[in-house]
Structure 1
Amino acid sequence: MASPASATSTSWRVALAAIVLAAAMIGAIALLRPGWIGLGPGEPSRSDRPVAAQAGTPVETVRAATERVADQVEALGTLAANEQVPIAAEVAGRIVAFHFREGQEVEAGARLVDLDPTIAQAELQQAEANLSLAQDVYDRSQTLVQRGAGTQVALEQATAQLAVARANAAAARTKLGQLTLSAPFSGVVGLRSTSVGTIIPAGQAITTLTGLDPIKVDFSIPELFLSSVSTGQSVDVRVDAVPDRRFTGKVYAIDPVVDPSGRTLRLRATIDNADRTLRPGLFARVALTTAVRDDAIVVPEAALVASGTGQESAIYIISEGRAAMKVVATGRRFDGKVEITEGLRAGEQVVVAGHVRLRDGARVTVTEAPSRLQPPAPASATSAAAQPIPAPARAVP
C-alpha cells in the first residue's frame, strides 16, 4: 500500500503535465490565430500586417522621352576626286623644265611643265613668213584688179593662199603653246614619272592633277529604296583611315539606270574637304538619311517584353502604383534604345527592370532607373536600315 507522500508526488506530476499540455495547446492556437495575441498599445495586430507587407514588386522606371530619329540606309562606298586629270602633252617633245613640286597644291592656270620649243618656234617663224608673203601677193592682186590691170582669177588665188597661210600660222602658234602644260583647274599635283630631258610621246602622262575640295563619294543601295531617295538628302560618312571623325555631305546625283546584276541604284554625294583629310580611293561607310522624325518617342530597349500572346512587343507602364501592360509598335533601334511608334505617350513612366516577377495589374514599388538607362536629352539619332553593299538590306527594327 502506497504511502501518503508517494501519492502526493504522483498527483503533482499529473497536474504539471496537464499544465504543460494546456500551455502547448494555447500556443498552437495563438500561432493559427495571430489576432488572439495582444501586441501592446498602439501596435497593429499581426492580422493587420499583411497590408503593410504588400509593399509591391520593386521595379525600376524611366520616363518615355522624345528624340530626333532618322531613318537611314547603310552602304559601302568609295571616295572619288571631284576632278582628276593626267597631265600629258598633246604633241611629242623633250621635257626641259618642271614648275611644280610633287604633292604641291596649285591654282587653275598655273604653269607645270615645259617641253623643248625649238622646233615649234622655227615652224612658227616659217608660217609667219609665208603669211607675210601671202598678204603681200593678195594686196598687189587687189590693187591691180582695182586699176583694171589684173584678173579676177589671180585675185581669187591670192585670197586662197592668204587663207592657207593664216591657218598654218595659227596651227604653228597652237603647237608652240602645247609645249607648255598648265593646270586646267585648282588641285594637288601628284607624283611625276619622268625627268628633265625625257622625250615623251603625245598623250603620255607626266603626272596627275587632283581636285580634293569638295570630294565625292560613290555608293549603291538596293533598288527597293528607289522611291525613298532624292537629291539633296544628307549622308553621314565614316572612313577607317580617320575613325574618330564623321563627315557629312549631300546627294547631288542619282544614276538613272539600276544595275541589273546586283539590282542596286548608284548614288553620288559631295563632302566638304577643306582640310584635305579625305583622299580619293578611301573605303567609306555611308549612311543615307531618307526620313527624319523630330518628336519620336524613345525608351530603352530593356523596357520591351513579350505580350500576353507572345506575338507582339509590349511594355509595362506605371499608373496609380500598379503595373499595366500595353502592346506597342516599335520602329528604329539605336544605341540601346527603341522608337515606339504606337501605344505610348511621351512622359509616361515605363518599367525597365523587374519584369520577371511583374504581372499586369500588380502593385509595384518604384525606383528610378540608374542614369545609364535614362534616355539622353533630345538629340539626333540614327538607325541602321540596310546592310552594306554588295548585298545591303534593311535591318530588323
Structure 2
Amino acid sequence: MIARLPRAVRWATMLGIMLLSASAALGTQQPIEVRVSVAERQTAYRRMTYGARLRPRQTVNQRAPQSGLVDQITVQPGQVVARGDLLMSLRRNVPTDSFRPVPVQSFHDGVIASIAVYEGQEVRDGDTLLTIADTSSLTAELLVSDKDIDAIRVGAPVTAVDSQRDRTFSGRVTRSALIPDYATGLFSVEVSVNPGPGAFVGQFLRFSFRTDEISAILVAREHLEYRGGRYHLFVVENGRAVLRPVTLGAEYDSRVVIRDGLHEGERYVISAVRRLQDGASVTVRE
C-alpha cells in the first residue's frame, strides 16, 4: 500500500516509522549503571624541594673568667652540654697557690663546636676557651634557583624530612635574599627548624615548600571526555547522563581545575559499565 503513495509521502512515512522504532528501542533500553563523584572545592598545591644541612643559628665563645693555667678539660668536641655543666677548670699560675681550681661552667645549652686551649696552657682573663654551638634553634641555608625564588615568602611554613632516619620536622622561612650569588646564580634562603627529637647539627634534610595553593573544583583528568575539540564531563541530571562542556584551568598532578561548566554539589560520572552517549538513561551505583 505504501508503494502506491507519492514518493514524497512514502519517504515521510518511512522516516516516521524509523523514528518510532528508534524511540521504542530507547524506551525499552535498560539504564546504564554508572558511578559518580560529587563536585566539591578542594585544596591543591604544588611542591618544590631543596636539600641542606642543619646548622646552629649562633655560636657562643666561652671565655676565661680569670687568668691562670688550664687545669682540666672535661668535655670534647661534639659533646652535648646544658647550661651549668662543667666544661673545664682553671688554677692560678702561682707555685705556692693553695686555692682550689676555678670551675668554668657552660652559659648555654648546645654542642661543643671546638676547644681552643689544652691542659696546662696559660690563659688570660677574657681569652676564648671553647666555642658552643647553640642548638636551641637550628637553621639551614637553601640555595634556590631563579625560577623558584618568587614563590618563596618569608614566614611560609616548611616541612623538613630526614628519609634515612624517618624523621620529619617543621619550620619557617626566616630570610630570603633579594639578589643572587652572581657566581652561581642561586638565591640564599634561610629556614628556621624546630629542633625536635632526632634533630642535630650537620643533619641532611629535604625541605619542601607549598606553592601555588588554591581552593577550587578539581577532577581527575581520566574522567574528562574529549569530543569535538573540547573537554566535557558527563553530569547526571534527572536520571540521564548529560554531556556538558567544561573549561579547564591549571593542572595539579593528575587533577585539573574546572573553571566553568561544573558546580559544587553536582554529580559527574567517573565510570560506566559501557560507553555513554549524551542523554543516555543511567542508574547510579552507590
- TM-score norm. by structure 2 comes to 0.69
Amino acid corresponding to residue 178 of structure 2 in structure 1: P
C-alpha distance in 1 between matches for 2:104 and 2:47: 46
The answer to whether the Cα contact below 8 Å between 1:239 and 1:283 also exists between their aligned partners in 2 is yes
Q: Kindly tell me: are residues 210 and 287 of structure 1, through their superposed partners in 2, closer, same or farther at Cα, counting changes over 3 Å?
A: same
C-alpha distance in 1 between matches for 2:261 and 2:26: 33
Q: Kindly tell me: are residues 354 and 98 of structure 1, through their superposed partners in 2, closer, same or farther at Cα, counting changes over 3 Å?
A: same
Q: Larger Rg: 1 or 2?
A: 1
Q: 225, 228, 252: which one pairs with 1:333?
A: 252
Q: 46, 54, 71: which one pairs with 1:79?
A: 54
Which sections of structure 1, spanning at least 5 residues, go unmatched? 1-45, 123-178, 369-397
Q: Give the Å deviation of 1:296.
A: 2.3
Q: Which residue of 2 aligns with 1:249?
A: 171
Q: Which residue of 2 aligns with 1:61?
A: 36
Out of 341-350 and 352-361, give the one that drifted further: 352-361
Q: 237, 242, 253: which one pairs with 2:160?
A: 237
Q: Give the Å deviation of 1:188.
A: 3.2
C-alpha distance in 2 between matches for 1:217 and 1:317: 50
Q: Give the Å deviation of 1:241.
A: 3.6
Q: How does 1:1-397 map to 2 (within 5 A)?
A: 50-84=25-59, 95-100=70-75, 103-107=79-83, 111-118=86-93, 183=106, 185-189=108-112, 197=119, 199=121, 209-243=132-166, 245-273=167-195, 275-293=196-214, 295-309=215-229, 313-320=231-238, 321-333=240-252, 337-354=255-272, 357-368=275-286
Q: Kindly tell me: are residues 226 and 190 of structure 1, through their superposed partners in 2, closer, same or farther at Cα, counting changes over 3 Å?
A: closer
Identity fraction in percent:
18
The answer to whether the Cα contact below 8 Å between 1:236 and 1:286 also exists between their aligned partners in 2 is yes
Q: Give the Å deviation of 1:63.
A: 0.6
Number of aligned residue pairs: give it: 258
The answer to whether the Cα contact below 8 Å between 1:106 and 1:189 also exists between their aligned partners in 2 is no
Q: Kindly tell me: are residues 55 and 297 of structure 1, through their superposed partners in 2, closer, same or farther at Cα, counting changes over 3 Å?
A: same
Q: Kindly tell me: are residues 242 and 258 of structure 1, through their superposed partners in 2, closer, same or farther at Cα, counting changes over 3 Å?
A: same
Q: Kindly tell me: are residues 50 and 200 of structure 1, through their superposed partners in 2, closer, same or farther at Cα, counting changes over 3 Å?
A: farther
Amino acid corresponding to residue 247 of structure 2 in structure 1: V
Task: Determine helix, strand or coil for the equivalent of 1:50.
Answer: helix
Q: Kindly tell me: are residues 315 and 218 of structure 1, through their superposed partners in 2, closer, same or farther at Cα, counting changes over 3 Å?
A: farther
Spell out, residue by residue over 1:49-81, the C-alpha distance to the aligned partner (whole angstroms, 9 max, x if none): 734542244332111122233444332233222
Which sections of structure 2, spanning at least 5 residues, go unmatched? 1-20
Q: Kindly tell me: are residues 340 and 213 of structure 1, through their superposed partners in 2, closer, same or farther at Cα, counting changes over 3 Å?
A: farther
The structure with more helix, counted as a fraction of residues: 1
The answer to whether the Cα contact below 8 Å between 2:175 and 2:190 also exists between their aligned partners in 1 is yes
Out of 95-104 and 264-273, give the one that drifted further: 95-104
Q: Give the Å deviation of 1:324.
A: 1.2
Q: Which residue of 2 aligns with 1:166?
A: none
Task: Determine helix, strand or coil for the equivalent of 2:25.
Answer: helix
Q: Which residue of 1 aligns with 2:4?
A: none
Q: Which residue of 2 aligns with 1:168?
A: none
Amino acid corresponding to residue 163 of structure 2 in structure 1: D
Task: Determine helix, strand or coil for the equivalent of 1:263.
Answer: coil
The answer to whether the Cα contact below 8 Å between 2:33 and 2:273 also exists between their aligned partners in 1 is no
Q: Give the Å deviation of 1:198.
A: 5.8
Q: Kindly tell me: are residues 89 and 353 of structure 1, through their superposed partners in 2, closer, same or farther at Cα, counting changes over 3 Å?
A: farther
The RMSD of aligned alpha carbons is 4.2
C-alpha distance in 2 between matches for 1:48 and 1:357: 19
Amino acid corresponding to residue 257 of structure 1 in structure 2: I
Task: Determine helix, strand or coil for the equivalent of 1:299.
Answer: strand
Q: Give the Å deviation of 1:183.
A: 3.7
Amino acid corresponding to residue 206 of structure 2 in structure 1: R
C-alpha distance in 2 between matches for 1:48 and 1:69: 45
Q: Which residue of 2 aligns with 1:135?
A: none
Task: Determine helix, strand or coil for the equivalent of 2:147.
Answer: helix
The structure with more strand, counted as a fraction of residues: 2
